[in-house]
């Protein structure tokens, strides 16, 4: 019977069925971060349980690290205890740690792929809801809580109920300045914040095939914002060449053997999905969220909804979102003054993201009164960006250029906006108070964020002339 | 894990869809490794801008100050995987959440902590919500996982379904790791098999060293 790629990966990782009916799925790579792992380390220590496979486990310091140049543990005082506990727990359990001063430190979802820890057809777990970012490489990744994290450390398996399968086919070709971020926001707008609940999503179609690997990761990153259990893109030749030569990926004869296997990874012709959704990307314009959840999305030329014209069941939610965001029904977002612009996070902090923003910025200046900040997703990305001169482009334009980490995405490191500020951000959640108390967040692509920083107002990047060289 | 058999408490109506983990347990409340889990629950909604208590927020109302059961809408617990959003419930003695639906990871986190996540059939949910609102915290409800019934004042019982595996795990308070380690041999077998078939999966050597 024809099988989906999800079924193939699941079945090949099925260790046993547990007494309570859950499938034990082997986890090939487990990546931890300091906001949650310390609690799991403590739990295991109390129970005197060892970490079963420290060699398949990696520790990252990302959520609480300061982004100020010259940072150390004390730069963000509230992070110090997390960093220390992570260091001690990782050391005690012989887990390789990418510490705050490591030349390869960064956001787990950025570092794991760029070092070759993530492989097609492999399973992956992170105690973070954005785990499926690495689905962009054809890996099946699950986010989990702290107790589940301890379970994986002790057993190297996750006890899961088999999710359903969804296919999202992205047809057509993206227009200029329209990115994976815009596609993902449009999908969430169409399916809703619970639209993929209980499902593993396979993203397919011509628009996905044309996407560079980093864009596929952006697409899969936002899968959780519609409640998806996981999301991935089947690997292809561009995946393989992207992974080739990365330090933790197989090398030499082993690489050839892996490659032969990876080339067989795909959903069979005629494989059945529980649900299918199709989006034609050709006419898509840059997208932006207007409200307080990632499904409240507009095309950049669109207008904010009018609650009085909305379905009764949605009226209250729209009214409350408009009030929080300081918006009037029916107004356009383009042209609205902003206070802050943030470019970074596991969604949009890889080199091509920074490149796209820099291409807009080059030779121009951030509008007066706007605080604009770029935080690379990893120290490696930062180094590569600096080698390409991108830091100069940003700094000359008046952007702050930070050390890598999660930063303003959730504000766990103290980076955040001031009450009432309007912040245009390349992150993944526009929930109330997420980027600071009363901060009004609009989610966009890096190019739109860059254009907005220059204009000091929400801008349609398609109308900005190319950057000067 | 603490077993769940039955729980009696005041049912608090917070009838809204898509309540996310940033509302339940904001990151800013997790500044310490061991924060005050009781205080962090719905921390922002509990306070007005000047820091004083917001008397309109349901958990601040006198009849709901000692909650036991939370009654809410669709997609409860959307967003982050942070387990503090469950620990905050337990610290406030909320051991049952009756929602129209749960976000996947949040529901898993509930099961890991002996918090019973209940989804009622649509018509039952309508009737239950109405009753909870009408009772207005004047008398408690009891949720019995053995009989799968919610009993309360002023009307008939409400029956609920839950997958039998989840029910068993909660009733017995089973140690999840212990349950899995009964399959320790099969885990070893799997590793041996995959080492032969796809050896790169079991190898994470840094090729530079």
Mean pLDDT over each residue of chain B, to the nearest integer: 96
Domain of residue A112, residue span: 5-162
Residue A320 domain flag: yes
Q: Reply yes or no on whether the pLDDT at B190 is more than 90.
A: yes
A429 is a domain residue: yes
Q: Which whole-number Å values give the CA distances from B118 to A51, A153, B87, in the listed order?
A: 33, 29, 17
Supply the pLDDT for residue A19.
84
How much is the average pLDDT of A358-380?
98
**pLDDT value of residue A469:** 58
Least CB–CB distance from B177: residue in A129, A155, A317: A155
Summarize pLDDT for A385-412 with one digit per residue, the tens: 999 999 999 999 999 999 999 999 988 8
Listed residues A162, A182, A212: the one ending a domain: A162
Indicate whether A207 pLDDT > 90. Answer: yes
Q: Is residue B24 part of a domain?
A: yes
User: How much is the ipTM here?
Assistant: 0.96
Alpha-carbon gap: A286 to the closest alpha carbon of chain B (Å) = 24
Q: Do B166 and A247 touch (CB under 8 A)?
A: no
CB–CB of A22 and B165 under 8 A? yes
User: How far from each other are the two terminal CA atoms of chain B, in whole angstroms?
Assistant: 42
CATH value at residue A100: 3.30.499.10
Give me the residue from B80, B177, B186 closest to A49, CB to CB: B177
Q: Do A159 and B180 touch (CB under 8 A)?
A: yes
Q: Is B30 on the interface with A (CB under 8 A)?
A: yes
d(CA A396, CA A23): 54
In this prediction, residue B49 carries a pLDDT of 86
Mean pLDDT of the region B35-51: 94
Question: For residue B193, is it within any domain?
Answer: no
| Eight-state DSSP code of residue A315 | H
Name the residue range of residue B142's domain. 6-174
| pLDDT classification of B46: cutoffs 50, 70, 90 | very high
Question: Which residues does B196 contact at the CB level (< 8 Å), separation at least 6?
Answer: none
Q: Do B101 and A143 touch (CB under 8 A)?
A: no
A147 and A293 inside one domain: no
Q: Are residues B74 and A28, on separate chains, in Cβ contact within 8 Å?
A: no
Q: Which of A149-153, A269-273, A463-467 has the lowest mean pLDDT?
A: A463-467
Q: How far apart are the first and last CA of chain A?
A: 56
What is the enclosing helix (H) or strand (E) of A253? helix A252-262
Q: Say if residue A14's pLDDT is above 80.
A: yes
Nearest residue to A157 (alpha-carbon basis) of B184, B203, B205: B184
Q: Taking residues A344-351, report their average pLDDT.
A: 98
Please return the burial class of B168, using the count of CB atoms within 10 Å of its CB with bins 0-12, 13-18 and 19+.
middle
Q: Which residues of A touch B174 (CB under 8 A)?
A: 20
Does residue B205 lie in a domain region?
Answer: no
Residues A157 and A294 in one domain: no
The domain total for chain A is 2
Is residue A393 a part of any domain in this protein? yes
Which domain CATH number covers B166? 3.20.19.10
Residue B83 domain flag:
yes
Out of A162, A187, A220, a domain closes at A162
Number of domains forming the structure of chain B: 1
Q: What pLDDT shows up at residue A467?
A: 64
DSSP for B7-49, written as a single string: EEEEEEEE--S--BHHHHS-GGG--SSS--HHHHTTHHHHB-T
Is there a contact between B10 and B140 (Cβ–Cβ < 8 Å)?
yes
Q: Are residues A320 and A455 in the same domain?
A: yes
Domain boundary among A108, A139, A162: A162
Please indicate, yes or no, if residue B25 is contained in any of the structural domains.
yes
Contact A258 B205 (CB under 8 A): no
Residue B177 is predicted with a pLDDT of 94
Instruction: Looking at the complex, report in whole angstroms how far the Cα of residue B189 sits from the nearest Cα belonging to chain A.
Output: 8
Q: Are strands B158-159 and B96-99 parallel, antiparallel or unpaired?
A: unpaired
Paired strand residues for A171: A280
The DSSP result for B83-142, as a single string, is: THHHHHHHHTT--EEEES-B-HHHHHHHHHTT-EEEE--HHHHHHHHHHHHHHTTSS-EE
Q: Does B22 touch chain A (CB under 8 A)?
A: yes
Tokens of B103: 């976000």
Above 90 in pLDDT, residue B29?
no
Q: How far is CA B126 from CA B68, B119, B163, in A?
A: 20, 12, 21
């Amino acid at each position: 019977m024809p099988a989906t790629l999800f079924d193939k990966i699941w079945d090949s990782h099925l260790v046993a069925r547990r007494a309570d009916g859950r499938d034990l799925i082997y986890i090939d790579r487990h990546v931890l971060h300091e906001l949650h792992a310390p609690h799991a380390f403590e739990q295991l220590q109390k129970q005197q349980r060892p970490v079963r496979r420290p060699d398949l486990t990696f520790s990252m310091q990302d959520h609480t690290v300061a982004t100020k140049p010259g940072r150390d543990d004390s730069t963000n005082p509230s992070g110090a205890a997390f960093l220390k506990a992570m260091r001690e727990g990782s050391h005690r359990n012989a887990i390789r740690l990418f510490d705050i001063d490591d030349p390869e430190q960064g956001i787990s979802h950025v570092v794991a792929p760029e070092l070759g820890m993530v492989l097609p057809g492999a399973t992956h777990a992170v105690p973070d809801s954005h785990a499926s970012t690495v689905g962009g490489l054809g890996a099946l990744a699950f986010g989990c809580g702290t107790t589940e994290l301890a379970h994986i450390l002790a057993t190297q398996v996750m006890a899961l109920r088999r999710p359903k399968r969804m296919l999202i086919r992205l047809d057509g070709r993206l227009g200029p300045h329209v990115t994976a971020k815009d596609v993902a926001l449009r999908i969430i707008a169409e399916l809703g914040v619970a639209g993929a609940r209980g499902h593993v999503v396979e993203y397919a179609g011509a628009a996905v095939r044309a996407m560079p690997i980093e864009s596929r990761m952006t697409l899969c990153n936002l899968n959780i914002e519609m409640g998806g259990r996981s999301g991935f893109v089947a690997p292809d030749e561009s995946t393989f060449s992207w992974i080739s030569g990365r330090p933790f990926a197989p090398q030499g004869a082993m690489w050839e053997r892996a490659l032969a296997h990876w080339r067989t990874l795909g959903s069979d012709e005629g494989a059945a999905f529980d649900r299918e959704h199709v989006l034609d990307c050709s006419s898509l314009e840059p997208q932006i969220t207007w409200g307080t959840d990632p499904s409240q999305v507009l095309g950049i030329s669109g207008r904010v909804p009018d609650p009085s014209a909305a379905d009764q069941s949605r009226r209250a939610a729209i009214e409350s979102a408009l009030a929080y965001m300081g918006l009037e029904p029916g107004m356009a977002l383009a042209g609205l003054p902003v206070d802050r612009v943030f470019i970074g996070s596991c969604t949009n902090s890889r080199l091509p993201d920074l490149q796209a923003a820099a291409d807009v910025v080059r030779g121009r200046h951030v509008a007066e009164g706007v605080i604009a900040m770029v935080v690379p997703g990893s120290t490696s990305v930062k180094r590569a960006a600096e080698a390409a001169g991108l830091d100069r482009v940003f700094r000359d334009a008046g952007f702050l250029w930070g050390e890598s980490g999660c930063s303003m995405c959730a504000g766990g490191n103290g980076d955040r906006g001031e009450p009432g500020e309007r912040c245009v951000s390349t992150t993944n959640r526009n929930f109330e108070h997420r980027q600071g108390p009363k901060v009004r967040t609009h989610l966009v692509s890096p190019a739109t964020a860059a254009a907005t920083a220059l204009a000091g107002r929400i801008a349609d990047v398609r109308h900005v002339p190319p950057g000067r060289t | 894990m603490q077993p769940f058999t039955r729980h009696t408490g005041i049912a608090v109506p917070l009838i809204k869809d898509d309540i996310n983990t940033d509302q339940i347990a904001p990151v800013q409340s997790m500044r310490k490794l061991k924060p005050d889990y009781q205080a962090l629950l719905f921390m922002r909604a509990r306070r007005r801008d000047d820091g004083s208590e917001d008397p309109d927020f349901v958990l601040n109302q006198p009849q709901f100050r000692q909650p036991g059961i939370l009654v809410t809408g669709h997609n409860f617990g959307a967003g982050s995987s942070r387990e503090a959003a469950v620990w905050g419930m337990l610290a406030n003695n909320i051991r049952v959440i009756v929602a129209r639906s749960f976000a996947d990871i949040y529901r898993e986190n509930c099961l890991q902590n002996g918090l019973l996540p209940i989804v009622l059939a649509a018509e039952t949910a309508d009737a239950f919500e109405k009753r909870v609102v009408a009772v207005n915290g004047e008398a408690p409800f009891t949720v019995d996982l053995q009989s799968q019934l919610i009993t309360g004042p002023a009307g008939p019982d409400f029956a609920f379904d839950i997958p039998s595996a989840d029910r068993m795990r909660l009733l017995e308070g089973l140690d999840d790791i212990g349950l899995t380690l009964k399959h320790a041999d099969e885990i070893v077998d799997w590793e041996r098999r995959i080492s032969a078939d796809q050896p790169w999966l079991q190898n994470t050597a840094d090729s530079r060293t």
